[in-house]
Structure formats: structure tokens, C-alpha cells
Amino acid sequence: MAEQPRPFTLAIPDQAIADLKARLALTRLPDQAPTPPGQPWAYGTSVDYLADLVAYWRDRFDWRAQEAALNAFPQFKVPLHGIDVHFLHVQGKGPNPTPLLLMHGWPGSVYEFLEIIPRLTDPAAFGGDPADAFTVVAPSLPGYGLSFTPGQPRFGVPAIADCLADLMTEVLGYRRFAAQGGDWGGFTASCLGVEHADKLLGIHINLLSVRPDLPPPADPTPEEARYFAEAAHWVKEETGYQWIQGTKPQTLAFGLTDSPAGLAAWIVEKFHGWTDNDGSIESAVPRDRLLANIALYWFTGCIGASFWPYYARLHGPWPIPAGRTVDVPMGYAAFPREIRRPPRSVAAQSYTDIRRWTVMEKGGHFAALEQPATLAAEVQAFFRDLRRA
């Protein structure tokens, strides 16, 4: 019999906050390599940007306010698959709320979801239909944030999917549930759709689990040609982080666990490159929420464990096993600044029951954080018929 979840409240010790500020005060920045005009991020994180961010983090950022924002939601921990799994469990307000597993990825956390959860659990408060309400379960993925303690087992995507399936069914007692995710959360939703299809109403994702080694068709459509050209550029210019995280994660973890400025530089470069911004990260993501996410990585010391899906990916099979497909109903929100945007013809090779495919007007990789209202509306629209079937 599964153990019962125990209530959890986040409370970082004052000493840990003081230690962080002391380390930030001793930050030693590198010089800025000469960059092309107007391209301060051309070779990675801008030194000027990081200097300003570190100063703000040290002198003005209010961790306690962000801690309180997370603690405003009901949180729990439960022993599962050899670790303590942390999750938010927010009851829906409607006639028959559908359980929804909401999953983040790297380098994200449950801080991505603080604006979207109320829209999903209480749509009437935002002018929507109470019949669209979900009861949201938003876990910290195993190995991430508050689902990490030093020395615990490491998890790849299939193991994460198995763990979260048991969280939903064995621990929380939901016979069937909906799933939504981006980044590794999207991969996990897809893996659930293969290995735990009987438990799912369907999956909604904003990052497709499409094999990177697919050959381009002999006579590609313009959309297919665009995708394969973008994919080739991505592999050449944007996958360095995957190779180091996927081959020598322990070595990188030393620097990022010891230096908060180094940790911030590693993470904010992705928020700069992957959000739909106007050149400034803060035009897409509030600075305090960005730092709350980074600070959670810092205080929990989880960065090394968070790399593990990359290591498992490079040293094991693709999360969707060869010869198998995702056959549960699937909905996809195609945000314009997502890191990979396969056309529907390519996605259909992996997903056999695409019910909804929406090209979004604005947003990037961190969709729940960047565009909570439009993503919530898409999730509601996709599951509206499925929940009533």
C-alpha cells in the first residue's frame, strides 16, 4: 500500500540566504569577449547582464516573498520509487474537476506554474466555465528542486514517467488523468502515453518528442524544409549544453553547485535564447520569478541531478521506444519561439491521434510562465470533449 503524502512548507534557513548573499558579493566575472554590434549574447551569457542580475539578486531580490508565493499552494511530499517526491496538489473549483498532471522541464521548476494553476483550477475566476476546472498535481520532477536530496537515485525520462504514474494512481487514487508538459515534461507526457496509456485521458504538450535523427524526406514541403534546416542549425549551434550535461554531468555540477553566479549564467542563457523576448529576458519573464527558479536550484543543490535526463538520453534509447508510437489523444500548442517546431507531418510519425494542433501567436519554451492565459485556454479546449466522453 502506498504511503500517505505529508504536508510540506518551504522554509529556507536564514543562514542559507546569508551564505548566498556572501557568495554573490564575492562574484568574479570573466571579461566580455568582443561581440558583433548589438549582439552581447553572441557567445553565451552577456557579462553586463549577469553583473546587473547578480547585483539585483544580492541586494534587492526578496526570496521570502517568492517562498510565500509557492507556499500559498498546498504542497506535499511522499516516499516513492526510492526518493521523496514533492508536488503541489490544488483542488479544482467546478462540478467535476479533472485530475491534471502538470510537468516542467530543465532548467525550470514548479515556479513556472504559479500563474497558470489558478487559471486551470478555477476558470470561473477568470471569466471561464467552471466545467473546465482541473485538479492540478504539479510535481517537482524527480531529481529537481524539492524532489531532490543528496545521494538519491538518478532518473531518466522513462523512470520519471513510471514514478509520476504511480503518484497519480497509487498515491492519489486517480484512476485516469490528463497530462500536460513542456521540455522534459512534454517528453514525460509522451512516455506516459506509450507506457501508461490506460491511465490517461490524453496528453497536451508544447514540446514534441520527435526523434532528432529522422532523415528529411526526398521531396520536402516548404514547412518540412524549414524544420530540417532549423534542426541542423540547432544541432550545430545550440546543443553544447546537452553534450556536457549528457556526458560529464558530475564535472559541470562542481562549478554550478559552488558558484551562484555560475549557476545563474548557465540558466539565464537558456531563458534569453528560448523565450519570446525583445532582447531582454524580462520582457518575457518577470525578473523575480526568474530568480526564484534559479534560487530554488541553488538552495536545493539539485543542479547535478537535474542533468540526469540528458545523460540517460545520450546513453540509452529514445524515450519513445523504436517501433512504438504515442496512441492516446494528443494536443499540441506550437509556440513561435519554441526551440524545436516540427511540422505536423513529422509529428504524425510519432503521434497517431493528434486531436488539436494550434499555432500560437506569442510565447516560447517556458510557455506556462510566459503565456499562462493562452496556454491554460488551450489545455481547457483540448480536454473539454475528452473529459466528457
Question: Which residue numbers are catalytic?
Answer: 183, 310, 365
Task: Determine the residue type at 38.
Answer: G
- Cβ burial 258-297 (10 Å sphere, 16+ → b, else e): ebbbbbbbbbbbbbbbbbbbeeebeebbebbbbbbbbbbb
State phi, psi for 179 to the nearest 5 degrees: -140, 140
Q: Which three cell numbers stand for residue 339?
A: 526551440
DSSP letter for each residue of 318-360: -SS-TT--B-S-EEEEE-TB-S----HHHHTTTBS-EEEEEE-
The residues pairing with 334 across neighbouring beta strands, listed in sequence order, are 359
Contact 89, 74 (CB under 8 A): yes
78 dihedral zone (left: phi>0; alpha: psi -120 to 50; beta):
beta
Q: Which three cell numbers stand for residue 302?
A: 539539485
Q: Is 202 buried (19+), middle (13-18) or exposed (0-12) by CB count in 10 A? A: buried
With CA atoms as reference, report the closest residue to 328 among 209, 175, 200, 210: 200
102 dihedral zone (left: phi>0; alpha: psi -120 to 50; beta):
beta
Q: For 88-155, give the secondary structure using H, E and C.
A: EEECCCCCCCEEEEEECCCCCCHHHHCCHHHHHHCHHHHCCCHHHCEEEEEECCCCCHHHCCCCCCCC
DSSP letter for each residue of 367-384: HHHH-HHHHHHHHHHHHH
167: DSSP letter: I
What is the length of the chain? Answer: 389
Q: Which three cell numbers stand for residue 315?
A: 546513453
The alpha carbons of the chain give a radius of gyration, in whole angstroms, of: 20
